[in-house]
Structure 1
């Protein structure tokens, strides 16, 4: 499975083609799905361009994207950078009126179980974000929600292309082989394409998009999310 991550917490100065508004995200989702994406992850943005969990913006964003790509699962973030207080973050989730198909919870962040509980209460599937170089794997294994997640995101934050694969191997070993849900493995920036190669070799789900990387495998600036999805699909088809 190839997920597209449309924008992340980047700002407009990072990339001129980064989608922010519901209309921009809807068009980016349409093009990415046409290029081969099968699932969508995005960050709803407020008027200031910053990530938000505000129910009106979440609703407008999800509605617009669903119209653009009917039948494609749409997920959003619950990252603590949007709402640092965990109880407030959980309350925001409970206030949503239009629900995503899934939402990511970063298990290295304090209050992950509170947010996961709010998602379960709303019937929203959970992507468990497990960052490399943190204690997230250990926290997740002892969580009461570990058996209730849709998938485990093995998120490699090592951006060195020379070491990202070994970092990924280490995190996968930490997670073990008895996980209750499938793994989606991905990297970011300098490590994005090497980790995507590893995911394809291992037969794991992966993701690509402007949240994770701003360049194609040959180092050229990516024009948009669809260009990254096409490049990922080409790598899948190429001999390993």
Structure 2
């Protein structure tokens, strides 16, 4: 499965074509799905362009994207940086009225278990974000409901292409204790394409998009999420 990650924590200062508003996210999602994306991950933004999990912004983003790509699963972040504290974040997630199909939970963050259990109660799939270089794998494996998540996001934060593969291998080894749960392996910035190729070679789910990288495999600037998806499809096709 190839997921598109449309925007992430980035701002327009980093990428002029970054989709921010619900309408822009809808167009970007439509184009990415036409290019081959099978699943969508996005970060709802507030009026200033910053990440938020406020119910009104989540509803606007999810509703717009669903209308553009009916039948495609749409997910959002629950990153701790979206609010001023764990209690506020939990209250806002509990207040969601338009429910995404899935939401990512970063397991190294304070309050991750409470957010995950709220998502389970609401019937929202969980993408368990396990970052390299943290103790999140063990924290996740200690959670009694680990086998109930939709998938694990194995997130390689090592951006050096020379070492990222080994970092990824160590991360994957730490996740073998939850059989039957799909793993989506991805990298970021300078290691994004290296890790995508590794995921493809191992037959794992993966993702690409302006959240993870702003350039194509040939190092030219990426003009859109759809362009990144097309490049990823070429790499995945070569691994088959």
Counterparts of 2:199 and 2:221, CA distance in 1: 23
Aligned to 1:187: 187
Aligned to 2:150: 150
Structure 1 residue 239: Cα displacement = 4.8
Superimposed CA distance per residue, residues 176-235 of structure 1 (whole angstroms, 9 cap, x where no aligned partner): 254341100000001100000100000000000000000000100001000000000011
| Equivalent residues, number | 240
Counterparts of 1:84 and 1:102, CA distance in 2: 23
Matches within 5 A, 1:22-61: 22-61=22-61
- In structure 2, stretches of 5+ residues that fail to align are none
Change (3 A) 1:210 1:135: same
Indicate conservation of the 8 Å contact 1:91/1:118, yes or no.
Answer: no
Matches within 5 A, 1:1-240: 1-176=1-176, 178-239=178-239
- In structure 1, stretches of 5+ residues that fail to align are none
Indicate conservation of the 8 Å contact 1:217/1:231, yes or no.
Answer: yes
Superimposed CA distance per residue, residues 65-116 of structure 1 (whole angstroms, 9 cap, x where no aligned partner): 0000000000000000002422221111110110000000000001110100
Structure 1 residue 145: Cα displacement = 2.6
In structure 1, the residue corresponding to 2:234 is in which secondary structure? Answer: helix
Normalization by structure 1: what TM-score?
Answer: 0.98
Counterparts of 2:84 and 2:117, CA distance in 1: 17
Deviates more, 1:171-180 or 1:20-29: 171-180
Superposed structure 1 runs of 4+ greater than 2 Å apart: 177-180
